[in-house]
Structure 1
Amino acid sequence: MIIYNVTINLQEEIHDQWLLWMNDVHMPEVMATGKFLSAKLVRVHVDQPMEGIVFAAQYVAKDKATLEKYYTEDAPRLRQEGLQLWGDQALYFRTELEVLSEF
């Protein structure tokens, strides 16, 4: 399994609207692609002072090939929606996590 992790740093003034959009629109649209088995949105708590509020959206794909299909078939459109709505008020950092074991 592969976890597609998107870390988001938000400016505080868009927090409430962004959170509603993520839960009610964006994450359901990502899941509707059929490329992910599950998803979760978490808030990141850090010990050091940071500007903004940090979240991570995590999507579980069965394998790298499925994630690659998401990148080519769906990601450009879905990323554009967020960019149009939030501009530089939401900064995104994307990583892939390979699941080696679960307990």
Structure 2
Amino acid sequence: MLIYNTTFQVDDEVHDNFLIWMKESYIPEIENHGTLKSPRICRILSHRDDGSAYSLQWEVENSSLLHRWHLEQGVRLNEELTKIFKDKVIGFPTLMEVIE
């Protein structure tokens, strides 16, 4: 089992809209695709004063399925994120393997 994590750094001015978009659009659309499962969104606790950070985690069976999802849906959703929030939200992905 793999965990596909995206960490988002979110400017204060778009914070509320970002969370609404994530919960009402982004996460449901990914769930409908069926490849990524069990979403979990976490606030990253930090001592920074500028903006907020979130971790969105998904379970995925293997890297081949993740690659297919990325080509079929991930690229388009990333473009949509950039179109809506421009440079006010920046995300970077991490792929992790569950060992226990």
Q: CA deviation at 1:51?
A: 2.1
Aligned residues: 100
Report the counterpart of residue 41 of structure 2 in structure 1: 41
Report the counterpart of residue 84 of structure 2 in structure 1: 85
Q: CA deviation at 1:37?
A: 2.2
The secondary structure found in structure 2 opposite 1:55 is strand
Whichever residue aligns with residue 6 of structure 1, its letter is: T
Report the counterpart of residue 66 of structure 1 in structure 2: 65
Q: CA RMSD in A?
A: 1.1
Q: Is the 8 A contact 1:30 1:78 kept in 2?
A: no
Whichever residue aligns with residue 90 of structure 2, its letter is: L
In structure 2, runs of 5+ residues without a counterpart are: none
State the alpha-carbon separation in 1 of the partners of residues 51 and 27 from structure 2. Answer: 21
In the superposition, the TM-score normalised over structure 2's length comes to: 0.94
In the superposition, the TM-score normalised over structure 1's length comes to: 0.91
State the alpha-carbon separation in 1 of the partners of residues 45 and 76 from structure 2. Answer: 30
State the alpha-carbon separation in 2 of the partners of residues 16 and 89 from structure 1. Answer: 12
Q: Is the 8 A contact 1:37 1:62 kept in 2?
A: no
State the alpha-carbon separation in 1 of the partners of residues 86 and 30 from structure 2. Answer: 19
Whichever residue aligns with residue 71 of structure 1, its letter is: H
Whichever residue aligns with residue 73 of structure 1, its letter is: E
